[in-house]
Amino acid sequence: MQIYLPIAEMSVNVLLILAMGGGVGLLSGMFGVGGGFLTTPLLIFIGVPPTVAVGTGANQIVASSVSGVLAHMRRDNVDFMMGAILTVGGFVGSTFGVWLFKLLRTLGQIDLAISLSYVVFLGIIGGLMFIESAQAMVKTRRRGGAAVARGSGHHTWIHGLPLKMRFRKSKLYISALLPLTIGFLVGILVAIMGVGGGFVMVPAMIYLIGMPTQVVVGTSLFQIIFVTANATFLQATFNHTVDAVLALLLLIGGVIGAQVGTKVGSHLRGEQLRVLLALLVLGVCAKLAFDLVVTPDEVFSLGLRGDF
């Protein structure tokens, strides 16, 4: 069953898009990520223009994140104070990111920037997460007990920065500058890459901020809702790259998948969740890197650059 996408100017299979949204929603509920790191590349793989994939992918993330947060709120696994600070930084970062997106699009370099950003960030984050998670699983088997995330409860010079706040749910007393900075950087990624930023946010919350793993997932999803909503609004207003038809199909699948993912994730240990997420991140990275170096079917193409 085919449906035409007016902004992307192409036809797609409805069942394929629904399944894609469901799969991404599943990951959102399990790992606390928005799923955009997978949605955007998958849309590009099926032929959706990268600019439309970025703008529309961010929109779908909002729905699946809301669904996931509601499930985690019922389990009392959301630090609202930490989420609010991350959101403030994310708002500023995503606004700047949309401006940068428009600039790169005008210069005709946005497609390359999107692909390179995914390869670099997914490669680094996925590699580090896989190594750490694999080591944690090995230690768990040797000791016969539960492994503790390396960052949980661990304080460094970063935590001595000024403007300290107490985050009772996470049992932390740290500088608000740390989550503000992390939120700002992730906000830029949300706008440029069409992601929720969870694949960066979750490791940063565990290893830099030092939050307990069980609170990280729900808190990450909480800030993703507002930051991606801001990025989506700005992308639709200034860059006109949000396809409402495509977003609706992804949204329907994402809401259902997130509820299932939350239940599945509750049965897995923290290190198991992290190693599965790392493998997914590395798989997407490898595919994008391959597409960057392989010779295209059409070596030359003609088209208008930027907004001309």
28-47 pLDDT, tens digit per residue, is 666 656 566 777 778 888 88
* End-to-end Cα spacing for the chain: 34
Check whether 24 has a pLDDT greater than 60: yes
Instruction: For residue 180, give every residue at least 6 positions away whose Cβ sits within 8 Å of its Cβ, in sequence order, or none.
Output: 85, 86, 88, 89
Task: Tell me the pLDDT tens digit for each residue of 167-196.
Answer: 888 888 888 888 899 889 888 888 887 766
Q: What is the pTM of this model?
A: 0.67
Task: Tell me the pLDDT tens digit for each residue of 256-299.
Answer: 777 777 676 666 665 666 677 777 777 777 877 787 777 655 54
pLDDT at 272: 64
Nearest-CA neighbor of 275 among 226, 202, 224, 223? 202
Residue with tokens 């996925």: 126
pLDDT at 150: 46
Distances (CA, A) of 297 to 44, 47, 291, 294: 16, 13, 11, 9
* DSSP per residue, 194-249: ---SHHHHHHHIIIII---HHHHHHHHHHHHHHHHHHHHHHIIIII----HHHHHH
The Cα 57–Cα 242 span in angstroms is: 8
How far, rounded to the nearest angstrom, does the alpha carbon of residue 96 sit from its chain's CA centroid?
18
